């Protein structure tokens, strides 16, 4: 039950649904591939790079698993449960493969990187294993696998950013797109597997990012989310123009493409987000007033064991600074309960920092020990599962209360909303987001609006997860 709740919280945004890609005319391609993605937005963005690499080689995407010659699963290792989900899905692919001769199954992403060729021993019907930095070698590996060999490339790179590859947008609403600005992570939070699965941090060429964003805008997109595990440490030495591009500078240049292009970013590490970034956000109307600022724990002692490099007080001062420079900024968080040695006192510190920060929403997890991480090597995973889950349940309830309070405060306010599509429940209603990243649902009435339009919406009511509104001015 509890797992379902937390998975659901996560599902609503980052996890997304497993999705497939399709091309306009699949018949023109020599073979068809199907790709399903799990994990963070970086993985979803990577699948679009993979699709682009395969397209160039004459493979067309299909949304139908049954008609695919190549089936890929882009995997996540962040928690044990994420890996279990992938294994379950592989069992289904295995059944299909038995029925369909010649179908190849490829495992991509973080789990491929973590398990490497062990995957081929554990999951006998997997044919291809490719880590996040080796996607350029996919066409060659597919050929090898077609020739009957098992194909593996899990080399991590210090400089691969896929800068020159134009991602093929998969399952897109044509309004918002993710743009990868860096890869890897140098932070070594003790609980986290990402530095091992994604390698060293590197920043992508600034000009290629700006070009990609401009192209998206010219193709009708109205929102880009700049992606990295720690976007605030973006740092690119632009030798051509003899300058250094920081994250604040990059964001400014993307914002200058057009006032009609919304700019978002994810994720910020609290230790790295600078005043410069905050002032740039305040300066540009089209840079959204929303920061995902994962706290992980409210206890300085636990934060130190987690190797987060900030204290409770330091984090709270950062929240104050954000509210000072951007008074109406939305803030969300990631929180882990039951980390090694966590006591009730530490847990209460987490609850109080949530209340202090007044998060609009949070992604909440209980600690899952990951092989090879610093925490696994150094500390005992000593909090019983029922305690982890009870604490998780408590913070989920606190967050529900905070979300409800935050939404109630918005009743009566009017926001500029970017229309993303029909609301899930009712095709007579639009769904969109305000700058603070809150979802707003409102009746279409008789206005002739479409996806990607901006509209002024007044909030009349709310649920815990959604604002409910009415169009005030459709022409902006
Ligand atoms: N780069 C991002 C986070 C990426 S992982 C950042 O630094 O904030 C997304 C979230 O998963 C983390 O913020 C953390 O809350 C959670 N997470 C990571 N490792 C975990 C583990 N071993 N057990 C439980 N949750 C974990
Ligand atoms: Fe993991 Fe920490 Fe890097 Fe985020 S910043 S990806 S939590 S090591
Ligand atoms: Fe998962 Fe890898 Fe992202 S472990 S959260 S897919 S970086």
The set of protein residues with a Cβ atom below 6 angstroms from ligand 1 is 78-79, 191-192, 194, 229-230, 267, 269, 294, 296, 334, 336, 365, 367-368, 370
Model confidence at 17: pLDDT above 70 = no
Exposure class string for 130-144: b at 16+ Cβ within 10 A, else e: bbbbbbbbbeebbeb
User: Phi/psi of residue 15, each to 5°?
Assistant: -65, -40
pLDDT digits (tens, 9 = 90+) for 131-158: 999 999 999 999 999 999 999 999 999 9
Return the CATH number at 458. 2.40.50.140
Residue 455: both structure tokens together? 């509209």
Q: Which residues, at least 6 apart from 154, have a Cβ–Cβ distance to it below 8 Å?
A: 112, 113, 116, 117, 129, 130, 131, 134
pTM comes to: 0.93
Q: Which of 390, 408, 426 is the last residue in one of the domains?
A: 408
Decide whether any atom of ligand 2 lies within 6 Å of the 60 Cβ. no
Burial class (CB in 10 A: 0-12, 13-18, 19+), 364: buried
Q: Is residue 271 part of a domain?
A: yes
Tell whether 380 and 440 lie within a shared domain.
no
Q: 25: pLDDT confidence band, cut at 50, 70 and 90? A: low
Strand partners, 332: 292, 361
The set of protein residues with a Cβ atom below 6 angstroms from ligand 3 is 39-40, 42-43, 76-78, 109-110, 193-194, 197-198
Tell whether 436 and 396 lie within a shared domain.
no
Return the CATH number at 58. 3.40.50.12160
Strand order across the 361-366 sheet? 290-292, 330-337, 361-366
Specify the pLDDT at position 29: 75
Model confidence at 3: pLDDT above 90 = no
Tell which atom from ligand 1 comes closest to the C-alpha of 193: 19
Tell whether 185 and 93 lie within a shared domain.
no
Model confidence at 7: pLDDT above 60 = no
Centre a 10 Å sphere on the Cβ of residue 301 and count the other Cβ atoms it contains: 16
Q: Is residue 318 part of a domain?
A: yes
CA atoms within 13 A on the CB side of 304: 7
- Over its C-alpha atoms, the chain yields an Rg (Å, rounded) of 22
Tell whether 121 and 248 lie within a shared domain.
no
Q: 125: pLDDT confidence band, cut at 50, 70 and 90? A: confident
Tell whether 89 and 121 lie within a shared domain.
yes
Q: How far is the CA of 163 from the centre of ligand 2 (A)?
A: 22
Q: For tokens 């060659």, name the residue.
A: 140
Model confidence at 1: pLDDT above 50 = no
Q: Are 75 and 85 in contact (CB under 8 A)?
A: no
pLDDT digits (tens, 9 = 90+) for 342-377: 999 999 999 999 999 999 999 999 999 999 999 999
- Nearest ligand to the CA of 198 is 3
Q: Are 353 and 312 in contact (CB under 8 A)?
A: yes
Q: Which of 381, 408, 435 is the last residue in one of the domains?
A: 408
Instruction: Indicate which residue's Cα is closest to atom 1 of ligand 3.
Output: 76
Instruction: Indicate which residue's Cα is closest to atom 2 of ligand 2.
Output: 189
Tell which atom from ligand 3 comes closest to the C-alpha of 193: 4
Q: Which residues, at least 6 apart from 121, have a Cβ–Cβ distance to it below 8 Å?
A: none
Sign of CA dihedral 356, 360, 363, 366: positive
Q: Is residue 343 part of a domain?
A: yes
Instruction: Indicate which residue's Cα is closest to atom 3 of ligand 3.
Output: 40
**Higher pLDDT among residues 17 and 453, named by residue:** 453
- One DSSP character per residue, 298-321 reads S-HHHHHHTT----HHHHHHHHHH
pLDDT digits (tens, 9 = 90+) for 397-433: 999 999 999 999 999 999 999 999 999 999 999 999 9
pLDDT digits (tens, 9 = 90+) for 296-331: 999 999 999 999 999 999 999 999 999 999 999 999
Tell whether 378 and 446 lie within a shared domain.
no
Model confidence at 23: pLDDT above 60 = no
Tell whether 181 and 113 lie within a shared domain.
no
DSSP code of residue 12: I
Q: Are 97 and 103 in contact (CB under 8 A)?
A: yes
d(CA 85, CA 88): 5
Q: Which of 119, 153, 187 is the last residue in one of the domains?
A: 153
Q: 476: pLDDT confidence band, cut at 50, 70 and 90? A: low
Pairing label, strands 429-433, 439-443: antiparallel
Q: Are 192 and 146 in contact (CB under 8 A)?
A: no
Tell whether 123 and 209 lie within a shared domain.
no
Share of the chain above pLDDT 70, in %: 93
- Nearest ligand to the CA of 44 is 3
pLDDT digits (tens, 9 = 90+) for 188-209: 999 999 999 999 999 999 999 9
Specify the pLDDT at position 15: 32
Full domain range(s) for residue 222 = 176-408
Tell whether 249 and 121 lie within a shared domain.
no
Tell whether 311 and 383 lie within a shared domain.
yes
Q: 475: pLDDT confidence band, cut at 50, 70 and 90? A: low
Sign of CA dihedral 111, 112, 116, 122: positive
Mutational test site, ligand 2, from 132, 187, 232, max ligand atoms within 8 Å of CB = 187
Tell whether 138 and 248 lie within a shared domain.
no
Angle between helices 312-325 and 275-283 (to 10 degrees): 20
Tell whether 222 and 357 lie within a shared domain.
yes
Specify the number of domains making up the chain.
3
Share of the chain above pLDDT 90, in %: 87
């Amino acid at each position: 039950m509890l797992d379902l709740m937390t998975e659901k919280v996560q599902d609503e945004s980052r996890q997304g649904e497993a999705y497939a890609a399709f091309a306009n005319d699949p018949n023109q391609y020599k073979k068809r591939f199907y790709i399903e993605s799990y994990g963070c937005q970086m993985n979803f963005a990577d699948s679009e790079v993979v699709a682009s690499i395969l397209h160039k080689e004459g493979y067309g995407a299909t949304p139908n698993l049954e008609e695919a010659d190549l089936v890929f699963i882009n995997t996540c290792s962040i928690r044990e449960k994420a890996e279990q989900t992938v294994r379950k899905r592989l069992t289904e692919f295995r059944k299909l493969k038995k029925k369909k001769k010649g179908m190849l199954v490829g495992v991509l992403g973080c789990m491929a990187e973590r398990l490497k060729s062990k995957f081929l021993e554990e999951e006998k019907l997997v044919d291809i294993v490719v880590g996040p930095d080796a996607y350029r070698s996919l066409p060659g590996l597919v050929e090898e696998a077609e020739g009957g060999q098992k194909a593996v490339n899990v080399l991590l790179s210090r400089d691969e950013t896929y800068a020159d590859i134009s991602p093929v947008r998969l399952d897109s609403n044509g309004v918002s797109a993710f743009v990868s600005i860096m890869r890897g992570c140098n932070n070594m939070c003790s609980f986290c597997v990402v530095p091992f699965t994604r390698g060293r941090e590197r920043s992508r060429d600034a000009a290629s990012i700006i070009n990609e964003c401009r192209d998206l805008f010219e193709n009708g997109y109205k929102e880009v989310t700049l992606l990295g595990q720690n976007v605030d440490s973006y740092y690119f030495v632009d030798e051509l123009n003899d300058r250094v591009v920081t994250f604040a500078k990059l964001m400014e240049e993307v914002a200058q493409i057009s006032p009609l292009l919304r700019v978002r970013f994810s994720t910020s590490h609290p230790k790295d987000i600078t005043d410069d970034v905050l002032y740039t956000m305040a300066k540009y109307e089209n840079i959204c007033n929303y920061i995902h600022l994962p706290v992980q724990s409210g206890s300085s002692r636990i934060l130190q064991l987690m190797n987060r490099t900030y204290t409770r007080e330091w984090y709270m001062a950062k929240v104050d600074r954000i509210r000072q420079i951007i008074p109406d900024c939305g803030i969300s968080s990631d929180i882990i309960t039951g980390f090694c040695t966590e006591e009730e006192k530490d847990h209460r510190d987490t609850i109080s920092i949530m209340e202090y920060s007044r998060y609009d929403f949070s992604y909440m997890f209980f600690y899952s020990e990951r092989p090879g991480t610093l925490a696994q090597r150094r500390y005992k995973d000593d909090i019983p599962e029922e305690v982890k889950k009870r604490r998780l349940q408590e913070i989920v309830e606190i967050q529900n209360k905070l979300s409800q309070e935050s939404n109630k405060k918005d009743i009566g306010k009017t926001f500029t909303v970017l229309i993303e599509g029909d609301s899930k429940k009712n095709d007579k209603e639009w769904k969109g987001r305000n700058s603070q990243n809150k979802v707003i649902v409102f009746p279409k009435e008789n206005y002739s609006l479409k996806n990607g339009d901006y509209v002024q919406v007044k909030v009349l009511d709310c649920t815990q997860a959604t604002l409910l509104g009415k169009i005030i001015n459709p022409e902006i």
